[in-house]
Structure 1
Amino acid sequence: MEVSKFHKHYYPNHSAISYQLSAISYQLSAISYQLSAISYQLSAISYQLLAFGLWGTLREWPRYGNG
């Protein structure tokens, strides 16, 4: 009982604090999701650039061979 009285006296808005913490964790998870989406887009762009570079190298290969 003493612990609950102490808790109620010094933490009257515990539900509000937990709500704010859950909102912060939700925002952090949303930020991490956005970062993972950005990294996925960057990896897709780098993959496209790599494929384009390989395609350009293979396309220009006979010119290098004849030179």
Structure 2
Amino acid sequence: MRTVTISSKFQIVIPKEIRNSIGLHVGAKLEVLTYGSRIELVPIHPMRTLKGAFKGISTSISREEDRV
């Protein structure tokens, strides 16, 4: 487990191994979520990075005859 220290300005440094493993870069946006006493930082990815993520997915929907 990695530990970080909160600075006098309430800042932390995310360890390099973690930044590299999830692809964080300078200027990346993170959403801050709290669950009780736990804090989670979730990267926010632009919608354009999802282009092609669902390529080849079936879009057919089976419906009952009376619903067509």
TM range (shorter): under 0.3
Which has the bigger relative contact order, CA under 8 A and spacing at least 6?
2
Name the TM-score, length of structure 2 as normaliser: 0.21
> Larger Rg: 1 or 2?
1
Bigger share in helix = 1
Name the TM-score, length of structure 1 as normaliser: 0.21
